[in-house]
Structure 1
Amino acid sequence: MRIGELAARAGVSVRSLRYYEQRGLLSSTRTASGQRRYTEDDVDRVRFIQDLYAANLSSSTIADLMPCREAPSTHNSDATLERLARERERITAQIEDLLRARDTLDRMTAVARAYRESLAHQDAGAVPADAAVPAGAAVPAGR
């Protein structure tokens, strides 16, 4: 099948297929006129690649995992399981970092709201000393 048909059947762009080839994740044969030709198995291969990208894996990690799909063995299955476990740990660490960032934003939002409310209640331009600021939060400049 030609590149456009593979793209349509696998649900990806032609550009993605060319990228996969550049990264060594996909290969094709060429016709006499230089057009790429793919097999039926390539549809599943591209879908597998897409699943791995959806898991936030890099193209180099995906390339490392492909032997398990292409020629399963105890050795490469064990290597794949170890690699997937490491990738899961990496993603878990990213999630924890994002949760800390969200908590920081929540604290800063609380400070900003408290400051905004204190501005609404001020009479002569000075912020009251007893304006509510959450414990442990940074106090905005000018207070």
Structure 2
Amino acid sequence: MRIGELAARAGVTVKAVRYYERLGLVEPAREANGYRSFTEDHLRAVAEIRQLSEIGISPLRAAPFIECLDTGHEHSDQCVSSLAVYRDTIVELDRMIAALSSRRQILQERLDQGAGRSFEKETTMTDYTTLPDGLPVPEDDSAADHLPGQRMPQLELPVSDGGTVDLAGLGTGRTVIYLYPLTGQPGVDLPEGWDAIPGARGCSTEACDFRDHFEDLRRAGAQRVFGLSSQDPAYQQEVVERLRLPFAMISDDALALADALRLPTFSAPGHDRLYARLTLIVGDGRIEHVFYPIFPPNAHAQQVLDWLIQAKSEETEL
């Protein structure tokens, strides 16, 4: 069938079909006269993309569902990668709900104060694997604006698996390095006032998000994924084992990378200097892209994945 018939039967515009084609979601054959030729499988894929859009999943995130259909599954969400997209979308909705709930709480407090009644603040959540409501959102202070285009320094740092990594010799292709302040451990208190520091809370949830998207990141072009903090390798190895991370953590207890690249840091009770949350995309020895500031950390891996997919798409078009 031609593109017009496909669009009409799927309930979308011709422009939308062409957009899906640019994203690689549908790949029609070309007839001798150059016209696109679509099949019933393409119709099913376009209809699926439209239905996903209606529930808040954009075409940029539809690839796992189409791949699931292509592998022969009856339903597009019978694959783990599809379920991960559902989860990420729910996280984003939860973030919006949390923001609205926070506004409501402030209004309720003001109402209570205005009426002369007392308002008892809820107990702060202490579960290190989840994010409390109302965390302060970090602001962009331009502390990372100078990083894109810089070469990675000659630094050999220890890794949680017992080896070392040369940051100037990571290898060809793209490497994702997400920097974080510190990970919490069960039964160990976080620094006093930790939740009040913008961008501090959420290291374990960020690690889990990169764990859950690890294979997607690899397919999107990330040859390597590392976490990096100033905690020692033994501490990091415990985190790798406990959270079942499929990648290693880099230890930089002297914050040598921060000094070499002038990276943003901050202090907290008991810690003179910690890495601010930041992610580097390194391509062939140079910093290609920087994510900073990062919020919420438990959805950041999806941001990185979206960037990798877009970069790969743009490279394919060239």
| TM-score normalised by length of structure 2 | 0.30
Query: How far off is 1:90 after superposition?
Result: 1.9
The answer to whether residue 21 in structure 2 is matched with residue 25 in structure 1 is no
Where does structure 1 lack aligned partners over 5 or more consecutive residues?
Answer: 108-132, 138-143
Q: Structure 1 residues 50-59 or 10-19, which shifts more?
A: 50-59
Counting aligned pairs with the same residue, the percent is: 33
Deviations along 1:82-131, one digit per CA (max 9) or x if unpaired, are 33223222222223334555x49xx5xxxxxxxxxxxxxxxxxxxxxxxx
Q: Structure 1 residues 58-67 or 92-101, which shifts more?
A: 92-101
Taking the aligned partners of 1:65 and 1:43, their CA distance within structure 2 comes to: 14
Deviations along 1:47-86, one digit per CA (max 9) or x if unpaired, are 101111122223332113322221157xx72232233223
- Map of 1:44-123 to 2, 5 A cutoff? 44-72=44-72, 77-98=79-100, 100=102, 103=104
Taking the aligned partners of 1:22 and 1:98, their CA distance within structure 2 comes to: 36
Q: How many residues align?
A: 108
The answer to whether residue 4 in structure 2 is matched with residue 4 in structure 1 is yes
Taking the aligned partners of 2:59 and 2:72, their CA distance within structure 1 comes to: 20
Where does structure 2 lack aligned partners over 5 or more consecutive residues?
Answer: 115-318
Taking the aligned partners of 1:9 and 1:72, their CA distance within structure 2 comes to: 22
| 8 A contact 2:3–2:38 mirrored in 1 | yes
Query: How far off is 1:17 after superposition?
Result: 0.3
| 8 A contact 2:7–2:13 mirrored in 1 | yes
| 8 A contact 2:28–2:37 mirrored in 1 | yes
Taking the aligned partners of 1:51 and 1:100, their CA distance within structure 2 comes to: 31
What is the DSSP-based 3-state SS (H/G/I as helix, E as strand, rest coil) of the residue aligned with 2:60? helix
Q: Which structure has more strand as a fraction of its residues?
A: 2
Q: Residue in 2 aligned with 1:114? A: none
Say what the alpha-carbon RMSD is for the aligned residues: 2.7
Which entry has the higher C-alpha Rg, 1 or 2?
A: 1
| TM-score normalised by length of structure 1 | 0.62
